[in-house]
Amino acid sequence: MQLAAAGGAALAGLGLGVHAKQASALPAYAVRPPGALHEPEFLGACVRCGLCVRDCPYNTLKLSAFGDGVAPGTPFFVPRTVACEMCPDIPCVKACPTGALDHALEDINSARMGLAVLIDHETCLNFNGLRCDVCYRVCPLIDKAITLDMQRNQRTGKHAMFLPVVHSDACTGCGKCEHACVLETAAIKVLPRAQAKGELGHHYRLGWEEKARAGHSLLPDKVLELPVRRPGDGS
């Protein structure tokens, strides 16, 4: 009887552990509140109390229900439905009793809830030469998190295109751009940062940065003497 009890419990624990491991990724449409720890740590720190949801003055935050695709009882929001209003006093973070939302976040502009990515160039109206600009206009950090990059319209040959460009060093992932995108399905989407960002090999050095840091070129004057070869000179 004891053996059966222990065995059953061990099996249940194993199942739960495995399930927790494979279900612990946040779905791409969901974004955590400001100050949330990285997802793996967040799931061990959040006690599923809902205090952050209660203190969200715009009812942006939802507490995940069983079957929502987000770990049950944890807070999230879906930017396409409703975006974070970026309250300067960050009441959701203050409400967290455990530190799943890090109280070290004091400036909402430093929040990194996710990262906006203009993921579909083919449907974005600005990429089609129109001046929609809506994502750019609604961005709380306009001209920092999203800028418009003017380029020649190759199709017409005589017009300009103003391409929205997201800058990851300023984007908070509030979701305003995705929420406001006028398309049936947004061309710009806020993704979890881990999914949106690439990572350079750690041994890479960018020559121009190294040069700026040193104040001069790091190469000796003459590194290589290469012969000049032109077609037809017979050498």
Partner 1 sequence: MTTMKTSLAPARVPGREAIAAKGWLSAHKWLLLRRASQLGLLLLFALGPWLGVWIVKGTLTSSLTLDTLPLTDPFFLLQSLAAGHLPYREALIGAVIVIAFYLVVGGRIYCAWICPMNIVTDTAAWLRRRLNLQGGRAPSPTTRYWLLGAILLASFASGTLAWEWINPVSLLHRGLLFGFGAAWAIILGVFLYDLLIATKGWCGHLCPMGATYSLLNFSGVPKVSALRREACDDCLDCYAVCPEPQVIRPALKGEGSPIIASNNCTHCGRCIDVCAQDVFQMTTRFHHRRDGHEQGTDHTAARFGGGGVRPVH
Q: Which of 26, 30, 56, 71 binds partner 1 (CB under 8 A)?
A: 71
What is the C-alpha separation between 84 and 77, in angstroms, rounded?
A: 8
Nearer to partner 1, 39 or 133 (CB): 39
First vs last Cα of the chain: how many Å apart? Answer: 92
Chain positions 73 to 102 lying near partner 1, rule: CB under 8 A, are 73, 95-100
Nearer to partner 1, 72 or 207 (CB): 72
Nearer to partner 1, 37 or 125 (CB): 37
Match 């017979």 to its residue by tokens. Answer: 234
Size of the site for partner 1 (CB under 8 A): 49
Residue 1 binding partner 1, by CB under 8 A: yes
Min dist CB 62 to partner 1, Å, is 8
Min dist CB 42 to partner 1, Å, is 9
Min dist CB 38 to partner 1, Å, is 11
Per-residue x/- track, 26-65, partner 1 (CB under 8 A)? --------------xx-xxxxxxxxx-xxx------xxxx
Chain positions 165 to 204 lying near partner 1, rule: CB under 8 A, are none
Min dist CB 37 to partner 1, Å, is 8
Q: Which of 8, 27, 57, 91 binds partner 1 (CB under 8 A)?
A: 8
Nearer to partner 1, 42 or 136 (CB): 42
Query: b or e along 159-190 (b: 16 or more beta carbons within 10 Å of the residue's beta carbon)?
Result: eebbbbebeeeebbbbbbbbbbbeeeebbbbb
Tokens representing residue 18 in the block: 């495995």
Side-chain half-sphere CA neighbours of 94 within 13 A: 11
Q: Which residues pair with 148 in a beta bridge?
A: 164
What is the C-alpha separation between 146 and 174, in angstroms, rounded?
A: 12
Nearer to partner 1, 46 or 187 (CB): 46
- What's the maximum distance between 2 C-alpha atoms anywhere in the chain? 94
Tokens representing residue 40 in the block: 């793996």
Side-chain half-sphere CA neighbours of 84 within 13 A: 35
Q: Which residues pair with 115 in a beta bridge?
A: 191
Interface with partner 1 (CB under 8 A): 1-2, 4-6, 8-10, 12-14, 16-17, 19-21, 23-24, 40-41, 43-51, 53-55, 62-68, 71-73, 95-100, 103
